[in-house]
A and B are shown apart, each in its own frame.
Chain A
């Protein structure tokens, strides 16, 4: 009995919990509200990057259009709040996820008719279409400036979300739930089939799996969480603009997933952290932060393709840099 309580797995689990509580719950209370704000953004982008990684890391699909869902979620919240004047948070959030999911269903059906390079191009082109729709409609979508004046959600409870810290914990809940759900998906049989498809789609089909259906569901799931993240971002900032759905946003989130590591579940979150810190903190010290992002990306792709998280968790370490890359490539 004694031994079981102190078994390795138990201790490790306790370490996770304590570590998690310290990092995510205790620390934010002691640092300046500005850093809490930045941390909140990292969590939001973390959800987005995790969703993108469902396609990138698990299904092996490069989608250059995920920003369409981030934007769809964001604009849904803005339209309901600003244009329709309805203030209900839960309505907005559910609507955002629904709209993003439906959009994912439509775009996925179109994009997944193709493979490989064509798929990359199609997702980009479809997202550009969404983006092109958002700018001209000045009266509805606010045109190129977008919509402003979205207040923090009113939960109808006696606490206010206007402070950085309270909104942070609010987002933390969504982050934890999203991460948990996506984690379970990747560890489920569904997730395993996805990886199988990534490795060798023909073999999976020969084994009797309807690969298209699995990819389609994966695409929709990614869209749904992208929309959720976009909605949260709008509440964080208080405004939305067409840049949400732009190509550069799709590229930025791919950057996050890649730099963080596509093969470790938590990698994209680490990537979100690194990219965002460069953008928000490092940019105070140098104007060359875009260059830094580019160089980092190139360095990761060339020397540490498992990403920072991948490297830290041992894929890189176990096999050395070059060996690790070769191993990764045979895995693909």
Chain B
């Protein structure tokens, strides 16, 4: 019978994992909500962020620089993909399939540059080590920091969407492109900005998540699968829904893994199926 502190550890892990999933999915939600695009290369962006971050950290020994580099590289890639490719495609099918093509391209390029062995990134020294929780067990500081950081990102995104002009435009653009264009706002630039922002988020998640996931070539499909499950459960267009969905999936996964490790993967998708049967548009549904 698991003891109280073992359960507490499992729950805490669930929250941490959930917050990391949120970081993963936030960018996807942004893109989807604003531009109605499913970016299948989102996992690839994440993976690339991780690889670049590790490489820069290895060269400079500076964690902050690694994070910026990862974000910057992926952000730039996102900018290029949107500006020179996605923008010219009107049809959703074409857009989705284009991003699929990029999955193969990014994967092979990553393999060429970084090889096939997995890589890891050490946390900055002020975040290394453990901290005592109560008096029963120790918990890695880095993971606690990850929770805090993800919450900051959530708040930041929420503020952006609700309180800034650009955010309002983004939300409006999701509903009614013609109206926004009619107001004299260059919707094309807005879309490019949103896509780039989403890519920046993916790159950021990729670097900070390396401690948990490690950078490897299998990440692209793996991460994509998880992020999409979170979105399906939480509600594809709602930021709060994504947070809820991430936490839910994170907890289900960690608790399930503790009791029945062989069925870990199945539990995540099973939880998703359950939600789907009850609420096909996700737990929180905005703009049907």
Contact = CB atoms under 8 A, between A and B. Distances in A.
A touches B in complex, CB < 8 A:
yes
Interface of A: 56, 60, 62, 110, 113-114, 116-118, 120-122, 124-126, 128-129, 132-133, 135-136, 246-248, 251, 254-255, 258, 288, 290-291, 293-298, 301-302, 305, 328-329, 332
A298 B98 contact: yes
Nearest to B32: A117
27 contacts: A62-B92, A110-B273, A116-B92, A117-B36, A117-B38, A118-B232, A120-B38, A129-B273, A247-B224, A255-B97, A255-B100, A291-B105, A291-B109, A294-B103, A294-B104, A294-B106, A295-B101, A296-B101, A297-B97, A297-B98, A298-B85, A298-B98, A298-B102, A302-B98, A305-B91, A329-B91, A332-B93
A288 B109 CA distance: 9
A326 to B, nearest CB: 9
A128 B101 contact: no
A312 B273 CA distance: 42
Contact of B236 (A117, A247, A301, A332): A117
Contacts of A114: 280-281
Interface centre among B38, B85, B224, B231 (most CB of A within 10 A): B38
Contacts of B91: 305, 328-329, 332
A290 B111 CA distance: 10
A121 B232 contact: yes
B105 A295 contact: yes
Given A56-B93, A248-B221, A297-B104, A136 B266 contact: yes
B270 interface: yes
Contact of B85 (A132, A290, A293, A302): A302
A124 B232 CA distance: 10
Contacts of A116: 36, 92
A113 B280 contact: yes
A126 B273 contact: yes
Given A247-B225, A329-B91, A121 B231 contact: yes
B268 A290 contact: no
> 3 closest Cβ contacts across the A-B interface?
A294-B104, A297-B101, A294-B105
Given A118-B236, A125-B273, A132-B266, 8 more contacts: A62-B97, A113-B280, A117-B236, A125-B272, A126-B269, A251-B40, A293-B101, A297-B104
B163 interface: no
A124 B93 CA distance: 15
A129 B269 contact: yes
Contacts of B178: none
A137 to B, nearest CB: 8
B280 A121 contact: no
A288 B108 contact: yes
B58 interface: no
Given A114-B280, A125-B269, A302-B98, A60 B93 contact: yes
B59 interface: no
A110 B225 contact: no
Contacts of A329: 90-91
B259 interface: no
B93 A125 contact: no
Given A62-B93, A136-B266, A255-B100, A125 B105 contact: no
B89 interface: yes
Contact of A110 (B85, B102, B276): B276
B262 interface: yes
A298 B40 CA distance: 13
Nearest to B81: A298
B93 A291 contact: no
A290 B93 contact: no
A118 B29 CA distance: 12
Interface string B153-168: 0000000000000000
Contacts of B272: 125, 129
Contact of A121 (B101, B236, B263, B265): B236
B269 A301 contact: no
Interface centre among B89, B107, B270, B280 (most CB of A within 10 A): B280
B194 interface: no
B64 interface: no
B101 A294 contact: yes
Contacts of A110: 273, 276-277, 280
Interface in B213-234: 221, 224-225, 228-229, 231-232
